[in-house]
Amino acid sequence: AGCNVFIYDYEGYGKSEGSPSGQALYDDGEAALNFVKSRTDSIVYYGWSLGSYVATRLASDVEHPRALILESAPASINALLRDAGLVDLPGDYVAQADFDNVKRIAMIDCPLFMIHGRDDDFVVFDRHVSYIWNAAEEPKECQWVDAAVHDNVPEILGDEYGRLIAGFIYRHVREMIP
C-alpha cells in the first residue's frame, strides 16, 4: 500500500519486559506515537482487540491521527466483563485503566474504519460493535466479516483484507500512497 508500519509490544506482552497494566499500556502507546511523530506527520492509528483501547484513546485524548482503524474492538471493559458473567464487578476493579471505546469514539476527529468478525466469540459482535459504530461520527466505513472469529479476520478475507485497509487509507489519506 506504500505505507510504513510501526509495530510494538506493550510492556509485559510479547518480548517486552515489565508488568502489564492499563497505565503501562497507555504510556507505551504515547511513547510509540512520539517515536513515529519524529519521523512523519501522516499517521494512521490501527488498534486490534486490546490495542483498540490505546488507538482510540490516542485519537481522542492525545492527538488526532489522519485516520483510525479498529479491528475486533471491544466496546468497553465493562462490556467484556458482562460477557464473562461478572455483571456486578466494576471494570476498573479488573483493569485499572479507563478502557472505554464507546465513550471516546465520539471525540475522534478523523475517518474511522471498523472491521469485525460476525462470529467473534470473545468480543461478541452483537454486544459490542453497534455501540462503537453508533457513537462514531462520519466519515466512517466498516467491514463485517461472516464466519470470522476474534483473531482470524485476515485469514478469512485473504488478499481482500489488505485491499480493504489500503483502500480506506487511500480514500482518506491520499498523500500517503505513491
> Is 151 known to be catalytic?
no
> Is 116 known to be catalytic?
no
Q: Considering the candidates 21, 98, 150, 151, report the single residue annotated as catalytic.
A: 150
Type of residue found at 176: M
Q: Considering the candidates 49, 64, 92, 119, report the single residue annotated as catalytic.
A: 49
CA 83 to chain centre: 19
> Is 64 known to be catalytic?
no
> In this structure, are residues 43 and 37 in contact, taking their beta carbons and an 8 Å threshold?
yes
Task: Provide the sign of the torsion angle of the four alpha carbons 36, 41, 44, 50, taken in this order.
Answer: positive
Q: Considering the candidates 52, 100, 120, 128, report the single residue annotated as catalytic.
A: 120
Per-position DSSP letters for 80-149, written without gaps between them? HHHHTT-TTS-HHHH-SS--BHHHHHTT--S-EEEEEETT-TTTTHHHHHHHHHHHPPSSEEEEEETT--
Catalytic residues: 49, 120, 150
